[in-house]
Structure 1
Amino acid sequence: MSNEDITAEGIPTPEGHTNLIETDYDVGQDNIDGKLGPFGFDIHNPVFVISGASVILFVVYALIFREQASTFFGELRPYLTSTFDWFFLSAANFFVLFSLFLIVSPWGGVRLGGTEATPDFTYAGWFAMLFAAGMGIGLMFFGVLEPVYHMAVSSPLGVPSPFAEDGSVIEANVAAAREIGLAGTIFHWGLHPWAIYAIVALSLALFSYNKGLPLTIRSAFYPIFGDRVWGWTGHIIDTLAVFATLFGLATSLGFGAQQAVAGLEFVYGLPNTITSQVVLIVAITLVALVSVLRGLDGGVKVLSEVNMVVAALLLLFVLLAGPTVMLLTGFGEGLLAYGRELLPLSNPVGREDDSYRHGWTAFYWAWWISWSPFVGMFIARVSRGRTVREFITCVILIPSLVCVLWMAVFGGAAIDQVLNNPDSLVKANVIDSYSPELSLFGMLSELPMAAITSTIAVILVIVFFVTSSDSGSLVIDTITAGGKVDAPVPQRVFWCIFEGAVAIVLLIGGGLGALQAMVISTGLPFTIVLLLMCWAIIAGLRSEKRG
């Protein structure tokens, strides 16, 4: 098959363009075309069959052996985070340095899609989809929880808590504790996670738009494995990407379900039970099915842009209704503290803050890595026409600044309440008795119009839930269909349903601990995949014309 045949078959971009860039690599038609199987599924070699069957077996196992599964998941997470924390931290540090290197390197001028390519989306639409897919649910769940927890409980780098044993405030500890609370939070939502996403997204965009290969994870490894990527080597890579994406997404859906149900209980008195969370996941999965069927432009893009406007309005409300000057000052102080503590927090060895390093950082890096096939492929699909320098800068630096602003406003308002009101609901739900899903609503309860803003927050969580499920279904569908972005409708429906099913059985079989355990177990091997991707990116960029 010639290069012209491949590119004519094409890899559609979000607006339906066809990739006509001449490829440097040759692939056979069977590497792009799938095989229609039962129920209209597009079976691309063994990837769909293996991953689909494995997911079904996992769901059945977790439902039948609930007690055994709960015990297993409860032991798995602490073992993995304490044993492999050094590996996760070291790898994430490398991804940041590699991404920054690409910005200043001569390869920064390479344009994704070729020298004549133009962006398919405006900056506004592009950024909206980045956030909705990348961190929407997480920012809602952790925006209040994490700054307060790191200030008062986890003690990153051994900075003492501002609270004495009797609950009184130790004024001498307040300034340092406030700064480390923000710095420790920003560390988890700044350069490192977005560098992880950027690595995967860049590799997929480069080898799809510039080399004419299918838009799937295996394509990025052509420079390393050659034609073996179309055999079992590639099947293993894609299957691992499906598992990582599925469990990473299920964790976010679990967080979202817990927070949304907690918000409904807080505002309207509805019962907060596992049954309620399961019902919510089922209902939202059905809504996500509608969005999946509408496609990228009609579904995810519209929901993402609406949600980002509402999130921005909620952010502005908290900023104006809270201690505005202190929150704006906290943004600058948080950035400075993050820059000052970046190297100590990145250090993988010789530390004694196990609660923070194992319980938070190691889990986060595994979570971001598990999410990276999903978010990376989604970013790649909407980033055609950007230069490498523009792409890396926007994907890493700009979202990091927005995350800093979000944490400084929501976390800063919560910290102010905790330090000045011993009876605050944030203190009760984060420090006194750990109920993380209520932390956001506790903070909003002490501001004006609490019932209205809490309802808006619940709606935001639900819509972020829908966009994440929708986007994840499209991405997994693309991987299992061998890089096609127009796989049959029944296959999209299958993955959307089973994403919700995995989240449900993990919640039933062990709660958030089970979800987090599976994220880490899939993130660990996929870290190696990302390290190899960096090598492949350099190999691919070396043959490109720079703009």
Structure 2
Amino acid sequence: MGWFSMLFAAGMGIGLMFFGVNEPLTHFGTSFDGGSWAPLAGAEGNAAGAEALAMAATIFHWGLHPWAIYAVVALSLALFSFNKGLPLSMRSVFYPLLGERVWGWPGHVIDILAVFATLFGLATSLGLGATQAAAGLTYLFGAPESDITMILLIIGITMIAIGSIVAGVDKGVQLLSKINIILAAMLLFFVIAVGPTLMIATGFFENIWNYAVHLPALSNPFGREDANFSQGWTAFYWAWWISWSPYVGMFIARVSRGRTVREFLVSVMLVPSTVSILWMTTFGGTAIDQYVSQGIEAVRDAGVDLQLFIMLEQLPLSQITSFVAIVLVIVFFVTSSDSGSLVIDSITAGGKVDAPTPQRVFWAIIEGAIAIALLLGGGLTALQTMAVSTGFPFTIILLVACYAIIKGLMSEPKAV
């Protein structure tokens, strides 16, 4: 439970909270109003077809694809570190290709790119989390809606993350991750119970089927008049996942020692993907139902950082559930920050897993400072731009890593 909690909390907790309502609703509106791929399911003016497309597109972004990216990095790091005895660092993955040159400038370049990708990928997540937490505090308690509120949030949460870092992985990160998973599960099952339960239950399997049916069309970035889906959504997500991959991959590898490759792949790809699909089906499906069946336009018209709270407002105990949602965003923020600091610290320390604590604290502070700078410099657009900018060059490294991991696995001793 502790292992899975850390894996999931590090992987995409903040993203699910931020986009769980927004993305399905946005895709629904686009396809219902005649978006460029609406004809796929006869979705224009057809609520059922538009919802099918919306959920398929959401699962396309949050299902197997990001976890496959994470699995490549995590499995390669685990293999070359634990089985081959190399340092737990991105450069070690390229030993089959570069040999001893990984300890020279080529290895330095790989690790530097990994650090920058991780820093800005984390900053994107922390910025999204701060934006949503600030919006929730304004909505629930009337806190001032300003940059100062978000800056104070980032500073406060970074201080909590530093406390968790000092406590260590077992006492700090794992405990917070378990608390987070329990709170997330409670919120999820509450919405399932009091929301459109039957629709969620049947929709879960229907959405997986619709995803499989529409996967080729969703994967094709060409031939659409509206390029926003492939360039505005998919390109951002792919870059975000790739920029996160050294951080999430190394963290997963670090907490996965002793697992078999089969256990690892099932746990890293299938289990989190299933949970992500259930989460999007529950929150996104409930929001779409509120808009279509109940005519609640506020849930569609609210800002992206407020849509979750507007959706919860239509359900019982909304004050409590909204507060739980704010706590969830904050704790996901903390777990992302402290686990990210552990990873960056390991890379910059040459693969050591027991680097000095002040060094980890330094990286936690840097992450918070970058998030503040990007929020003040351009808000959500600046966050997304930096994720794309750092994700693109690291894509090349990941493609080469795919070949390196095959060579590494082929060199493993054969079972008798």
**Pairwise TM-score range, normalised by the shorter structure:** over 0.9
Q: 2:176 aligns with which of 303, 309, 318?
A: 303
| Equivalent residue, structure 2, for 1:63 | none
Shift in Å, 1:390: 2.2
Q: Distance in 2 between matches of 1:514 and 1:470?
A: 23
* Equivalent residues in 2 for 1:412-491, closer than 5 Å: 412-429=285-302, 435-491=303-359
Q: 1:147 aligns with which of 14, 21, 24?
A: 24
Q: 2:252 aligns with which of 369, 376, 379?
A: 379
Structure 1 residues 60-89: Cα deviation after superposition (integer angstroms, max 9, x where no partner): xxxxxxxxxxxxxxxxxxxxxxxxxxxxxx
1:156 touches 1:180 (CA, 8 Å); kept in 2?
no
Q: 1:205 aligns with which of 60, 78, 96?
A: 78
Give the 3-state SS of the residue equivalent to 1:135 in structure 2: helix
Q: Distance in 1 between matches of 2:102 and 2:189?
A: 48
Give the 3-state SS of the residue equivalent to 2:257 in structure 1: coil
1:487 is aligned with what amino acid?
A: A
Shift in Å, 1:158: 1.6
Shift in Å, 1:310: 0.7
Q: Distance in 2 between matches of 1:160 and 1:184?
A: 14
Q: 1:269 aligns with which of 136, 142, 152?
A: 142
Q: Distance in 2 between matches of 1:161 and 1:381?
A: 43
Shift in Å, 1:387: 1.9
| Equivalent residue, structure 2, for 1:542 | 410
Structure 2 residue 222 is the aligned partner of structure 1 residue 349? yes
Give the 3-state SS of the residue equivalent to 2:168 in structure 1: helix
Q: Which protein has the bigger helix share?
A: 2
Shift in Å, 1:348: 3.8
Q: Distance in 1 between matches of 2:273 and 2:8?
A: 10
Q: Distance in 2 between matches of 1:522 and 1:546?
A: 38
Q: Distance in 1 between matches of 2:287 and 2:223?
A: 32
Shift in Å, 1:160: 6.5
| Equivalent residue, structure 2, for 1:235 | 108
1:300 touches 1:467 (CA, 8 Å); kept in 2?
yes
Give the 3-state SS of the residue equivalent to 2:69 in structure 1: helix
Q: Distance in 1 between matches of 2:39 and 2:370?
A: 39
1:157 touches 1:344 (CA, 8 Å); kept in 2?
no
* TM-score calculated relative to the size of structure 2: 0.96
Give the 3-state SS of the residue equivalent to 1:427 in structure 2: helix
Structure 1 residues 231-289: Cα deviation after superposition (integer angstroms, max 9, x where no partner): 11000100000000000000000000000010011111111211110110000000000
Q: Distance in 1 between matches of 2:194 and 2:369?
A: 40
| Equivalent residue, structure 1, for 2:366 | 498
Give the 3-state SS of the residue equivalent to 2:46 in structure 1: helix
Shift in Å, 1:187: 0.5
* Larger Rg belongs to: 1
Q: Distance in 2 between matches of 1:249 and 1:389?
A: 29
2:30 is aligned with what amino acid?
A: V
Shift in Å, 1:468: 0.2
Q: Distance in 2 between matches of 1:539 and 1:384?
A: 20
Give the 3-state SS of the residue equivalent to 1:298 in structure 2: helix
| Equivalent residue, structure 1, for 2:388 | 520
Shift in Å, 1:161: 12
Give the 3-state SS of the residue equivalent to 1:218 in structure 2: helix
* Equivalent residues in 2 for 1:21-60, closer than 5 Å: none
Q: 1:399 aligns with which of 264, 272, 277?
A: 272
Q: Compute the RMSD of aligned alpha carbons.
A: 1.6
Shift in Å, 1:543: 1.4
2:386 is aligned with what amino acid?
A: M
Q: Distance in 2 between matches of 1:486 and 1:334?
A: 44
1:356 is aligned with what amino acid?
A: F
* Greater mean deviation of Cα atoms: 214-223 or 417-426: 417-426
| Equivalent residue, structure 2, for 1:286 | 159
Q: Distance in 2 between matches of 1:171 and 1:353?
A: 14
1:216 is aligned with what amino acid?
A: S
Give the 3-state SS of the residue equivalent to 2:306 in structure 1: helix
Q: Distance in 2 between matches of 1:157 and 1:332?
A: 25
Shift in Å, 1:523: 0.4
2:270 is aligned with what amino acid?
A: L
Structure 1 residues 475-515: Cα deviation after superposition (integer angstroms, max 9, x where no partner): 00000000001111221111000100000000001111111
Structure 2 residue 213 is the aligned partner of structure 1 residue 335? no
Structure 2 residue 66 is the aligned partner of structure 1 residue 193? yes
| Equivalent residue, structure 1, for 2:38 | 159
Q: Distance in 2 between matches of 1:352 and 1:381?
A: 44
2:38 touches 2:44 (CA, 8 Å); kept in 1?
no
| Equivalent residue, structure 1, for 2:5 | 128
* TM-score calculated relative to the size of structure 1: 0.74
1:470 is aligned with what amino acid?
A: D
1:193 touches 1:368 (CA, 8 Å); kept in 2?
yes
Q: Distance in 2 between matches of 1:347 and 1:384?
A: 37
Structure 1 residues 427-454: Cα deviation after superposition (integer angstroms, max 9, x where no partner): 221xxxxx10001001000000100000
1:161 touches 1:177 (CA, 8 Å); kept in 2?
no
Q: Distance in 1 between matches of 2:23 and 2:35?
A: 12
Q: 1:193 to 1:255 in 2, by over 3 A?
A: same
The answer for unaligned runs of 5 or more in structure 1 is 1-123, 163-169, 430-434
| Equivalent residue, structure 2, for 1:182 | 55
Structure 2 residue 121 is the aligned partner of structure 1 residue 253? no
Identity of aligned residues (%): 63
Q: 1:397 to 1:203 in 2, by over 3 A?
A: same
Structure 1 residues 179-211: Cα deviation after superposition (integer angstroms, max 9, x where no partner): 011011010001110000000001100000000
Shift in Å, 1:424: 3.7
1:196 is aligned with what amino acid?
A: I
Q: Distance in 1 between matches of 2:211 and 2:224?
A: 18
2:44 touches 2:50 (CA, 8 Å); kept in 1?
no
